[in-house]
Amino acid sequence: MGRSLAGWRALTGQQKRQLVVLATVLPAIGALIRVAGFQRAAKACARVGGQAPLRPATADDLAQAEAYAQLAAIAGRRGPVTTTCLRQALAVRTSLRRRGLDAQLKIGVKKNGETLDAHAWVELEGVALAQSQLTHHPFQGL
**Inter-CA distances, 39 with 17, 65, 96, 137, Å:** 29, 24, 19, 21
Domain locations in the chain as residue ranges: 2-138
What is the chain's pLDDT, residue by residue, as a tens digit (142 residues)? 456 778 888 999 999 999 999 999 999 999 999 999 999 999 999 999 887 889 999 999 999 999 999 999 999 999 889 999 999 999 999 999 999 999 999 999 998 889 989 999 999 999 999 998 888 888 876 5
**Inter-CA distances, 43 with 13, 93, 134, Å:** 31, 12, 26
Cα 113 from Cα 61, distance rounded (Å): 38
